[in-house]
Structure 1
Amino acid sequence: MQRILSQWLWPSIAGLAIALLVLEYTGWRSNSPQPAERMTSYATAVATATPSVVNIYTAKVVNEAPSQRNNRFNQLNRGSNQQRVERSLGSGVILSEDGIILTNRHVIAGADAIQVLLNDNRNARAEILGADPATDLAVLKIDLDHLSPAIIGDSNAARVGDVVLAIGNPLGFGSSVTQGIISALGRYGFQGGAYYEDYIQTDATIHMGNSGGALINTKGELLGINSLIYTGGNTANASAGIGISLAVPINLATFVAQDLIDYGQVIRGWMGVSVQPFIPDTSQPNVGALLVTQTVANGPADRAGIKPGDIITAINDEPVTDGRIAMHRIALLRPGDIISVTLVDESDNTQNLNVVLGSLQQAPQS
């Protein structure tokens, strides 16, 4: 009997072992998706960044003229004005543990009272430390402990096609997240400040109330401040939800914020020159220069000997092809900084001139 059991048992055990090995490789033993098949989630990035994003509520007292009220009331109160409160909403991002918040200037413009609501439901009144119309950024300060500052990323390392997430307070619903990709970099021409506009364009949906909120990467790092959605200048005919979402790169935003904290305004370098693209007579691709069309009298360029008609080929030994980018980089420098300008004058002589930058505040007001 023992011999019979032995002859039957061992083939059964061997068959069972082989079956288990086959099932192991076919994935039958587990209903869970394999690592390569698991759905991508950005929950960790959102959890990292969300505590630094705040909701901003503003109130502004405005005078309402008698003509704006009903006639019967006007007859009883001729010549008197009535005050009413306009309320608006937006978003902001905590930059430091001592209560520094970055938002858009248009979110808090003209506000008489600003209330900040944190992700943990605490709230505080905010004061304005400074605002910069050229970049539509503003810095606020609140007095609360145990704040969660954003992790600052590097917007210069952002690439077209990178996945990004927008966090803010759309339509007053509270903290919300949308996903998209970076559609383009270096966008400008939307608000008239061409030298200082340098937007990140995304297709992450933003609405009213998202302004001032965070644009983050998949690590939860802050890449930009969501600023506006462009719909071709005719919102009445724009389809709902269709538009170009734009964010101020965080590298530019932190530069602006630090100046607003330190000086109450942004101190920008200024060369005092107007330029336009100039394409040399050459077969080499991507080669260009800048034609000087005007210099400000006694401005930095004028004092250095730069004249209208000169052709600028390089600044600090770096070739220049785009006047907007060149002036933008100069604006990120400081008054008193010296830059080297390589140019060809009207006599076809190449010169290297040193220009001591002035302050943009010296520019004549139009």
Structure 2
Amino acid sequence: MIRQVFAVFALFLFVQVGGAYAQEKTVPQSKVQINLSFAPVVKSAAPSVVNVYATKITQQRQSDFNDPFFNRFFGQNSPFTQRRPQKSQSLGSGVVVDKSGIILTNNHVVAGAQDIRISLADGQEFLTELVLADEETDLAVLKVKNPPQDGFVEVPFASDESLEVGDLVLAIGNPFGVGQTVTSGIVSALARTGVGVSDFQFFIQTDAAINPGNSGGALVNMRGELVGINTAIYSRSGGSNGIGFAIPASMARFIADAGIKGGEIIRPWLGARLQAVSNDLAAGLLLGPPRGALITDVYPGGPADQAGLVSGDVILEVNGRGIADPGAFEYRFSTQPVGEQVELYVARGGDALVIKLPLVALNDGVGGDQILLENAGRFSGAYVREIGPVEIEKYGFPYDFTGVIVKGLVDNSAAQRLGLREGDIILSLNGTVIERAKQLEKIVQRPVSGWRLRVRRGNQVINSFVSG
């Protein structure tokens, strides 16, 4: 009894002190309110959460003679080894975000799958097609192939930035394949980084129990609105330890809209490199507490350059929202639609500036005209062009990096037989650094006895010699 009285008094005191905030979001103030249930929220949101079954078929080598001698002698080419299809199935969850049958889930749930099906809480099953798969955000968009005439129940997205630490949330999904399950908790933190799940480090952390199979499920608020897509857990055992992570609704909405519009993701390009602001830098820049994203380099002629941003600027806000670090900036910036503009609040040498930055897509065509190498001996049949910002951003090259990239190959051409691949960057030939496509075209037409070829392929640099 004493404990109950103390609890009621504590709640009363909290409400009194809460002031204006308590007028919008209150805690239970009576026994009637304490007996309230999450059931109405679940009834609203749960029909929009589906189970996702992704089937993958891989070719496994199996030997009729499981003998170390044969395996050691013949290796992978043993005449007793056959390729046999191996079926595996991953289980996850998904969220219906459009009544026509558009479903959001995690990319890692469906990656590499040949057959993806979803089932509703009532047991109905539907075949889907993969409309969009984005590894950078670990999100994927599915579309039901033959939706029912009356469609599906969709979950509404929460308004941007409505979530606060301490808000009650529900996680809905299919953990361990046991069936649809609802767990409750609070928002433990916002803008969590270092999770290592996607390229955009800006996660909602919650203590609502999230387990394997919850991936792709819904995190909803007390209005039944989608605030996040459950994605990962921090666990050493594989089970929930009260630390789960969800991709925020604004990023999920961005990917969902891309899927609805045709499956192409067009992100804005800044054209600048950023780094975190340390305590020493903050003191030197007169910023007070360390915050913001420091510009360290600007791509000549890129959007940042044209807007007037320079190295040494610190971006503190995007459209009025504070920026804690470069990860926060990347998240805020990347969820803005191309074709519009953002307003940046920038610190420069003790002054405050407002800069309007047009949102421009990273154009794969930038980098000069594409050339087909003809009458070029071993290099004939290769389509090449000069390195542009796409490759510079992808590989993290310096902004003044120059080179020539292979954009395509004619089938059965000399260049293809040489071993060149699409995406190879030709760095040098016979010791001559290659900077321009026209330069390469002239060099490869020279009669020589052989070529010393230096090529960058992915993160590797390959040196080889081939006859002329």
TM over 0.5: yes
2:191 alignment counterpart? 186
CA deviation after TM superposition for structure 1 residue 152, in Å? 3.0
2:447 alignment counterpart? none
CA deviation after TM superposition for structure 1 residue 350, in Å? 7.5
1:332 alignment counterpart? 335
Structure 1 contact 55–168 (Cα < 8 Å) conserved: yes
Separation in 1, partners of 2:301, 2:204: 36
Could you list the runs of 5+ residues in structure 1 that have no partner in the other structure?
Answer: 1-33
Between stretches 147-156 and 251-260, larger displacement belongs to 147-156
- Of residues 331, 343, 359, the one that matches 1:357 is 359
Could you list the runs of 5+ residues in structure 2 that have no partner in the other structure?
Answer: 1-29, 364-388, 396-468
Separation in 2, partners of 1:260, 1:152: 15
Q: Could you say if the C-alpha distance between residues 59 and 335 of structure 1 is closer, same or farther in structure 2, counting changes exceeding 3 Å?
A: same
CA deviation after TM superposition for structure 1 residue 289, in Å? 5.1
1:242 maps to 2:233: no
Separation in 1, partners of 2:189, 2:238: 22
Size of the aligned set, in residue pairs, is 326
CA deviation after TM superposition for structure 1 residue 111, in Å? 0.4
TM-score (normalised: structure 1): 0.77
1:89 alignment counterpart? 91
Map Cα deviations across residues 107-144 of structure 1 (whole Å, 9 max, x no partner). Answer: 11100001111112111101011122121111111122
1:24 alignment counterpart? none
1:108 maps to 2:113: no
CA deviation after TM superposition for structure 1 residue 59, in Å? 0.7
Separation in 2, partners of 1:90, 1:69: 37
Map Cα deviations across residues 245-277 of structure 1 (whole Å, 9 max, x no partner). Answer: 011122221121101221413211111111222
1:98 alignment counterpart? 100
Map Cα deviations across residues 170-217 of structure 1 (whole Å, 9 max, x no partner). Answer: 1111111111111011112212645x2321110111111111111122
SS in 1 for 2:161: helix
2:9 alignment counterpart? none
1:37-186 matched pairs, under 5 angstroms: 39-66=35-62, 70-71=66-67, 78-142=80-144, 143-145=146-148, 146=150, 147-154=152-159, 156-186=161-191
CA deviation after TM superposition for structure 1 residue 221, in Å? 2.4
Query: In terms of Rg, which structure is larger?
Result: 1
Structure 2 contact 212–239 (Cα < 8 Å) conserved: no
Q: Could you say if the C-alpha distance between residues 258 and 303 of structure 1 is closer, same or farther in structure 2, counting changes exceeding 3 Å?
A: same
CA deviation after TM superposition for structure 1 residue 240, in Å? 4.5
2:208 alignment counterpart? 204
1:323 alignment counterpart? 326
Structure 1 contact 339–357 (Cα < 8 Å) conserved: yes
TM-score (normalised: structure 2): 0.62
Q: Could you say if the C-alpha distance between residues 165 and 155 of structure 1 is closer, same or farther in structure 2, counting changes exceeding 3 Å?
A: farther
Q: Percent identity?
A: 37
Q: Which amino acid in structure 2 is aligned with residue 328 of structure 1?
A: Y
Map Cα deviations across residues 326-351 of structure 1 (whole Å, 9 max, x no partner). Answer: 332222223443445565667x8877
Q: Could you say if the C-alpha distance between residues 67 and 335 of structure 1 is closer, same or farther in structure 2, counting changes exceeding 3 Å?
A: farther
Structure 1 contact 293–309 (Cα < 8 Å) conserved: yes
Calculate the aligned-residue CA RMSD, in Å: 3.3
SS in 1 for 2:121: coil
1:193-342 matched pairs, under 5 angstroms: 193=198, 196-231=200-235, 235=236, 238=237, 240-242=239-241, 244-276=243-275, 277=277, 278-281=281-284, 285-286=288-289, 288=291, 290-312=293-315, 322-339=325-342
Q: Which amino acid in structure 2 is aligned with residue 322 of structure 1?
A: D
Structure 2 contact 267–335 (Cα < 8 Å) conserved: yes
CA deviation after TM superposition for structure 1 residue 45, in Å? 1.3
Q: Could you say if the C-alpha distance between residues 77 and 115 of structure 1 is closer, same or farther in structure 2, counting changes exceeding 3 Å?
A: farther
Q: Which amino acid in structure 1 is aligned with residue 294 of structure 2?
A: L
Structure 1 contact 54–117 (Cα < 8 Å) conserved: yes
Q: Could you say if the C-alpha distance between residues 170 and 303 of structure 1 is closer, same or farther in structure 2, counting changes exceeding 3 Å?
A: same
Q: Could you say if the C-alpha distance between residues 169 and 286 of structure 1 is closer, same or farther in structure 2, counting changes exceeding 3 Å?
A: same
SS in 1 for 2:304: helix
